[in-house]
Structure 1
Amino acid sequence: MLPPTRQIRFCASRDGTRIAYETCGNGPPLVWVAHFVHHLNFDWDSPVWRPWISALAKRHTLIRYDFRGTGLSDRSGVEFTFEKLVEDFEAVVGASGVRNFSLVAMSGGARVVLPFVVSNPDRVDRLVLYGTSPTGPLTAKAPPERVENMRVQLKAFEMGWPQDIPGFGTFLTSLHIPDASAEQARSFNELLRLTTSAENGVALLRTLVESDMQDLLPDLSCPTLVFHSRQSAVLPFDDGRKVAALVPDARFVPLESRNHIVLDTEPAWKQFVRELDEFLPTHSARAEPFDELTARERDVLELLAQGISNADISVQLKISAKTVRNHVSTVLGKLGANSRAHAVAVARDAGFGRRVQTRSSQV
């Protein structure tokens, strides 16, 4: 059964591409940029991704999205550049209505978030980099043999994806989760087919593996935790070590696993979840003032955060204009806000006002 708080929405990136994103759970906001083989609508049935969602959303409001060209995001006529992937991430963060948040970013997606994190050091509270590398394996800095290996993989993806060749799914799955059970492997194979087309999949992967964010890593200033599987066949263990060494004061956690995507059926999973729980904040610094609000005051604050005027709040809640003014005054006092704008900013940081950002669908 799906959590009642799960919602899928759409936002527009700078070039107009519609990006699907999902929120679920309750608590401080946590944005997750996942591996490219995932789908907002099918991850919940995946024995590979469902444990990840549960672990990340159990104490947080989890925000995640489908890359352009994949999942529920626009698939037709989309352009793939690294800059556009960064803009997609920024669009999701903006549409979600959160100002301060923690961030978990995986594999090539970890490089996508770095420009934002470096440019907005006051907005990311904690950063988790999982199974990534300073540069993609198809850059000038990569060893020649690694570049050639990546080119062969991309060619295999291009040839195997559209014809639905059974060996293709097996190849990709064994590369990412060699110790998967039969159910986990079957699910990952099927998710690959559902996630995107051959054309989009290859274009997205090529964009990710050609990205180079090594020069940004030393500029990170937020607390950072780096995970990497010791025997990952996707990205060598030394890649994770280099990432952690380049980020000031980062903590490095090696995972005793052969799986690039750690599974909940292996011992490394417990270590991963324990370290994650200890690192990520479990409550907002602004949580207590909100606990003091009555149900009606929370309704008023929700509408304030959506940018709705007192007159319209009066109509929507069917209360007098004077009562609205009294509620607004009380809310400002309880939040310690010195103005309406201040209260709105504080409320949006805590997750209020998201419904106005985009059209949404309950799932």
Structure 2
Amino acid sequence: MTPQTRYARSGDVSVAYQVVGEGPIDIVIVPGFVSHVELIWEIPTAVHILERLSTFARLILFDKRGSGLSDPVVGAPTLEERMDDVRAVMEAAGSERAAIIGISEGVPMSVLFAASHPELVSALVLYGGMARSTWAPDYPWATPVDDLMESSQEMAPFLYEGAILDVMAPSLADIPLARQLYARLQRYAATPAMLDQLFRMFLDIDVRAILPTVEVPTLVLHRRGDRAVNYQASKWMAGQIPGATYVELDGIDHAIFAGDGDALIDEIEEFLTGSRRTVEVDRVLATVMFTDIVDSTKRASAMGDRAWRELLDAQNEVLRRELVRFRGNEVKTLGDGMLATFDGPARAIRCASAMTDAVRALDIEVRVGLHTGEVELVGDDVAGIAVHIAARVGALSGAGEVLVSGTVKDLVAGSGIGFADRGEHVLKGIPDQWRIYAVDGP
């Protein structure tokens, strides 16, 4: 369920915010370049991170002025105006003191806020950030302003199609559903004109002189392979903040909701609470299924939000009916698709085939990917490499097609199910080559 969105008044501007959880400490999340407090709850990996944070804290989320559900503004907002927005949101949420988590472009303002209002800040967590946005002779790890402008102009025609995922979250870039969700978030978060204003404001950011004045406990986190912001920016920044702790994480993603989110939240939880949660993980053998609608972005744009949501509800009802028939277990819905598991690969294949037939009555086509392997059961969710393989296999499927890994094919020998060999494929992020088969027969 999406939390209720409320509004705080900051001068003449209304700032959208949400409160999640009831933990003993307050956390204010300062988002990156743009955000949308409601659409973020449609991105499963983001939901996982927010839910983990809410197990030990009361979260306060907000959209910066000019983006998401907050008021649009004329001209790019200043860091001072953004600090006023944080104060207004904290007051509206009844928070007297909070830990501030600054993400990416939200890091400089978080630093300035903590230095200016230490009485309001219990701790500071800075992820994937920088003290200055562009190259300077004494700041060599940033990109020159002309190069940033050029790359921004080259990407502009494709920005609202999810192209920025290649830089922000490359580990998810070849998953069609992830691309669709991120493109939608970009479209709803800021108009092209507002985005241009925000970008030009970003180019002027430089809070290096403020870093030595930060007095609150500070944790700086960065992924070493981050393609958007060089990890050395955070490493240098941590060295300028008195007593700051710097933690370098594995991974290539800049977006906080991509990559190993649990490793990141483990560090934050231990820093803010003094201990990290021990998660009990059970492992079982399962056949993992991913489904999604073909050409969903085009259909959603043509239908409008309300009609599209009604169609998704109808689709999910059909998919669930088939899951019951074939004793499958729904794990969660993923935008326009579903993740499910089965204790038998043959039933999973027959269920997938029944699903592709059943949804045609709704005038849609779905594609399905299946893989059998060991999965980790974490609460009501599943994780592990088998889940990633199933997602990659599903991404190769065409309209109305069920693709399976060679593992699945081998396990259903003698079942009477026919297959067509689709050759060997490299699955991004997965070792070795994988032979893929299309279900073709009874």
Question: TM-score, structure 2 length as denominator?
Answer: 0.57
Return the match for 1:150 from 148, 151, 158. 148
Letter in 2 for 1:206: R
Q: Which has the larger radius of gyration?
A: 2
Instruction: Specify which of 248, 261, 277 is matched with residue 269 of structure 1.
Output: 261
Q: CA deviation at 1:252?
A: 0.9
Following superposition of structure 1 onto structure 2, how do residues 122-133 of structure 1 map, counting pairs within 5 Å? Answer: 122-133=119-130
Give RMSD over aligned pairs. 2.4
Name whichever of 89-98 and 143-152 sits farther off. 143-152
- Out of 34, 37, 41, the residue aligned to residue 37 of structure 1 is 34
Q: Which amino acid letter does the alignment assign opposite residue 259 of structure 1?
A: D
Q: Secondary structure at the match of 2:65?
A: coil
Q: What SS does structure 1 have at the residue aligned with 2:199?
A: helix
Letter in 2 for 1:22: Q
Letter in 2 for 1:247: I
Q: Matched residue of 2:64: which SS?
A: coil
SS at match of 1:280: helix
Partner of 2:99: 102
Alpha-carbon deviations, 1:99-158, whole Å to 9, x = none? 11111111111111222211222321111000001111277865595222211133346x
CA-to-partner distance for each residue in 1:171-205, whole Å, 9 max, x for gaps?
31101001113322321122111111001112113
Alpha-carbon deviation of 1:209? 3.2
Letter matched to residue 36 of structure 1: F
Q: Is the 8 A contact 1:32 1:63 kept in 2?
A: yes
Q: Give the structure 2 partner of residue 199 of structure 1.
A: 193
Match of 1:255 in 2: 249
Distance 1:234 1:140, change over 3 A: same
Check if 1:177 corresponds to 2:169. yes
User: What is residue 14 of structure 2 aligned with on the other side?
Assistant: 18
Q: Hey, what's the Cα distance between the residues in 1 that align with 2:181 and 2:192? A: 18
* Letter of the 2:125 counterpart: V
Please list, as runs of the form range in 1=range in 2, the aligned pairs for 1:228-239 lying within 5 A after superposition. 228-239=222-233
TM-score when normalising by structure 1: 0.69
User: CA contact under 8 A between 2:65 and 2:73: conserved in structure 1?
Assistant: no
Residue 280 of structure 1: aligned partner: 272
Residue type of the alignment partner of 2:145: V
Aligned residues: 271
1:216 aligns with 2:181: no
SS in 2 for 1:129: strand
Q: Which runs of 5+ in 1 are unaligned?
A: 284-363
> Sequence identity, in percent?
25
Which gives a bigger RCO, structure 1 or 2 (Cα 8 Å, sep 6+)? 1
Task: Confirm or deny that 1:189 pairs with 2:183.
Answer: yes
CA separation of 1:66 and 1:215: change in aligned 2, threshold 3 A: same
Distance 1:85 1:262 in 2: 21
* Unaligned residue ranges in structure 2 (runs of 5+): 276-442
In structure 2, give the amino acid aligned to 1:133: M
SS at match of 1:136: coil
Bigger mean CA offset, 206-215 vs 69-78: 69-78
What is the DSSP-based 3-state SS (H/G/I as helix, E as strand, rest coil) of the residue aligned with 2:122? strand
Look up the match of 2:113: 116
- Taking the aligned partners of 1:142 and 1:201, their CA distance within structure 2 comes to 25
- Kindly indicate whether the alpha-carbon contact (under 8 Å) linking 1:68 and 1:78 is maintained by their aligned counterparts in 2: no
Match of 2:77 in 1: 80
Deviation at 1:86, TM superposition (A): 2.4
Q: Secondary structure at the match of 1:222?
A: coil
Provide the rounded CA distance (Å) in 1 between the counterparts of 2:139 and 2:194.
24
Query: Contact 1:139–1:209 (CA<8 Å) still a contact in 2?
Result: no
